[in-house]
Structure formats: structure tokens, C-alpha cells
């Protein structure tokens, strides 16, 4: 799918996006985002970037886990962001969260300006992954960390085959019906299947300049969090 079609799709499903997530994942996704926020806030970052922020679910979790940090959410779908802005109104976290319309392939942030970056369920939508990973690398301060959460398929007895049946046959049909489209969840399934396996994506992180690359499985691998660190620069290491 072209980027403009991806944006149009998220604009179209934005009104019921949060409900779709909760319904189709039985609210397990709430715990996944909490885990992501916990990992991203563990080294007390002052500024956290959440790319492909959507309706600000991750930004909200981040601001709760890191009460002294500023959180910047970036997304290219105006309708998803509008939903997020409405959600934040009246919450005390609102004054520490900024939501901006922008493209992850050209992040609207200065170089070396964020100590942690997250992206939940966004990377599989973007063809130019290396471009995005390099943008994260540019935005992070030396020593800063990147956390990318994406869907996967569990590879365990009993649950694995059951989930695969759900994922291949039930999810597209029910998801398309709930989102009132005939393609959104067929696209979700196909984009997850097209995403590289763990080793291949970890190699992509390394080739974008990240070190300490690793993957954490969530719910037996139904979701996973890839992580990496931007190394301290040679200059910083020499002068230390
Ligand atoms: C599946 S939603 C995930 C939203 C949110 N992170 C969450 O956990 O619910 C994917 C989001 O990625 C955004 N997106 C996809 N490609 C993008 C790009 N190139 N630049 C910015 N946002 C993008 C879409 O607009 C959409 O809001």
C-alpha cells in the first residue's frame, strides 16, 4: 500500500480505532503499551519521541511512567491525532504531551534532541524502514534508546496454531466489519506477514547504527518489542 493510502486508511478508521484495538485484542494491547512505556522510561529520559503516535495511547502511557519527561507524539494522520488531542483534553498529563503532524521518514525534531524514542505498530506500514531507523538515530542523543513494538506470530504448541487460524481467518473478517472497511484488517494481516523476521529486523537496526539490539516477546510473541541504543559518539568516548 502506498503511504498516501496508508494515511487515508488511518484517517478513515480513526473514529473507532481505540475500540477496534480493545475489542480485537481483548484489551491485552493495554498491557503491551504499558510494557513499552516502562522500558522506554527506565533511564529517566527528559524528552521522549513517540513516532506513529496515532491516538496518543503510547504518549499517554509514557507521560504516566515518566512524570518529569516531555513527550512528543508524531503521526501523519490528522484524524488519528485529532482523536488523540480530544482524549488528552482535561487530563493532567496533557501539559507534558505535544502531538504534531509529521512523517516518520522526516521527523520534525532536531538532531540529538530526544533521549528515548518509541514506535508502536507503525514500522510495518512504512516501506522505507532504513530511512525511518536513520531518522530515529539522528533524533536520539548519544546513548539514547529506541523501542519499536510490532505484531508477530507466536511459535508455541497449541496457542501458535490457534492464533494463526484467528489471525489468518477471523481477524480480517471481524476487523473489516468493525472498522466498516473491506480492507483495513486484511491489510493488517498482510503487512504483518510481510514484515521481516526477528533476525532480519535486528540486522536492519544494526545497519542503521544501533547497538545492544534485542527483542522481547510479549504474549508468546503475538507482539514484540525491538530495542537498540545509539552508541556514544567516538568524540564523547575519547573525551570521557
Ligand atoms: C496501527 S497505528 C498505531 C498507532 C499507535 N502507535 C498505537 O499504538 O495505537 C499506526 C499509525 O502509524 C501512522 N503512520 C504510518 N505511516 C506513517 C508515517 N510514514 N509517518 C507518520 N505516521 C505514520 C498511521 O497514521 C497510524 O496512526
pLDDT at residue 238 greater than cutoff 50: no
Cell numbers given for 117: 524514542
CB 107 within 8 A of CB 117: no
pLDDT at 237: 43
**What residue's CA is closest to ligand 1, atom 1?**
121
CB 10 within 8 A of CB 54: yes
Q: Is the CB of 14 under 6 A from ligand 1?
A: no
Task: Report the nearest atom of ligand 1 relative to the CA of 33.
Answer: 8
Cell numbers given for 169: 481467518
Task: Report the nearest atom of ligand 1 relative to the CA of 80.
Answer: 27
Kindly write down the DSSP assignment for every residue of 184-211, as one continuous string: HHHHHHHHHHHSPPHHHHHHHHHHTT-E
Q: Which domains does the chain have, with CATH numbers?
A: 3-151+196-234 (3.40.50.150)
Q: Is the CB of 39 under 6 A from ligand 1?
A: no
The CA-CA-CA angle for residues 60, 99, 142, to 5°, reads 80
Cell numbers given for 98: 505535544
CA distance 142 to 100: 24
pLDDT at residue 95 greater than cutoff 50: yes
pLDDT at 71: 98
What would the pLDDT profile of 117-146 be if each residue is shown by its tens digit? 999 999 999 999 999 999 999 999 999 999
Q: Is the CB of 88 under 6 A from ligand 1?
A: no
What would the pLDDT profile of 152-199 be if each residue is shown by its tens digit? 999 999 999 999 999 999 999 999 999 999 999 999 999 999 999 999
Q: Is the CB of 126 under 6 A from ligand 1?
A: yes
Q: Is the CB of 125 under 6 A from ligand 1?
A: yes
115's CB contacts (< 8 A; 6+ apart) are: 43, 45, 46, 47, 48, 140, 141, 143, 144, 145
> Across the chain, what does the average pLDDT equal?
95
The pLDDT confidence band at residue 46, using thresholds 50, 70 and 90, is very high
Q: Is the CB of 52 under 6 A from ligand 1?
A: yes
Neighbours of 19 (CB within 10 A): 11
Task: Report the nearest atom of ligand 1 relative to the CA of 7.
Answer: 25
pLDDT at residue 234 greater than cutoff 80: no
Cell numbers given for 26: 481483548
Of 5, 208, 239, nearest in space to 119 by CA: 208
pLDDT at 240: 40
User: Sign (positive/negative) of CA torsion 20, 66, 113, 212?
Assistant: negative
Backbone angles phi, psi at 97, to 5 degrees: -120, 130
**What residue's CA is closest to ligand 1, atom 27?**
54
Separation of 126 CA from ligand 1 center, angstroms?
9
Separation of 83 CA from ligand 1 center, angstroms?
13
Give me the mean pLDDT over the 47-53 stretch: 98
The pLDDT confidence band at residue 203, using thresholds 50, 70 and 90, is very high
pLDDT at residue 236 greater than cutoff 90: no
What would the pLDDT profile of 99-111 be if each residue is shown by its tens digit? 999 999 999 999 9
Separation of 193 CA from ligand 1 center, angstroms?
18
Give me the mean pLDDT over the 17-37 stretch: 94
pLDDT at 33: 98
What would the pLDDT profile of 219-231 be if each residue is shown by its tens digit? 999 999 999 999 9
Q: Is the CB of 76 under 6 A from ligand 1?
A: yes
The pLDDT confidence band at residue 214, using thresholds 50, 70 and 90, is very high
Q: Is the CB of 8 under 6 A from ligand 1?
A: no
pTM for the full predicted model: 0.95
Amino acid at each position: 500500500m502506498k503511504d498516501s493510502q496508508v494515511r487515508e486508511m488511518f484517517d478513515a478508521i480513526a473514529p473507532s480505532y481505540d475500540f477496534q484495538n480493545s475489542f480485537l485484542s481483548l484489551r491485552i494491547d493495554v498491557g503491551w503499551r504499558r510494557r513499552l512505556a516502562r522500558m522506554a522510561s527506565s533511564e529517566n529520559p527528559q524528552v521522549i519521541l513517540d513516532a506513529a503516535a496515532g491516538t496518543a495511547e503510547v504518549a499517554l502511557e509514557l507521560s504516566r511512567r515518566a512524570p518529569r519527561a516531555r513527550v512528543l507524539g508524531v503521526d501523519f494522520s490528522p484524524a488519528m491525532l485529532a482523536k488523540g488531542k480530544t482524549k488528552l483534553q482535561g487530563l493532567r498529563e496533557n501539559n507534558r504531551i505535544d502531538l504534531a503532524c509529521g512523517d516518520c521518514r522526516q521527523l520534525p525534531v532536531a538532531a540529538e534532541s530526544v533521549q528515548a524514542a518509541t514506535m508502536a505498530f507503525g514500522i510495518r506500514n512504512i516501506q522505507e524502514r532504513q530511512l525511518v531507523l536513520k531518522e530515529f538515530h539522528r533524533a536520539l542523543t548519544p546513548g539514547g534508546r529506541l523501542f519499536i513494538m510490532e505484531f508477530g506470530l507466536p511459535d508455541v504448541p497449541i496457542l501458535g496454531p490457534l492464533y494463526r487460524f484467528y489471525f489468518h481467518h477471523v481477524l480480517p473478517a471481524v476487523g473489516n466489519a468493525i472498522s466498516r472497511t473491506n480492507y483495513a484488517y486484511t491489510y493488517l494481516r498482510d503487512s504483518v506477514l510481510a514484515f521481516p523476521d526477528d533476525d532480519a529486523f535486528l540486522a536492519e537496526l544494526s545497519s542503521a547504527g544501533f547497538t545492544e539490539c534485542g527483542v522481547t516477546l510479549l504474549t508468546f510473541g503475538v507482539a514484540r518489542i525491538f530495542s537498540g541504543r545509539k552508541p556514544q559518539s567516538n568524540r564523547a568516548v575519547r573525551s570521557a
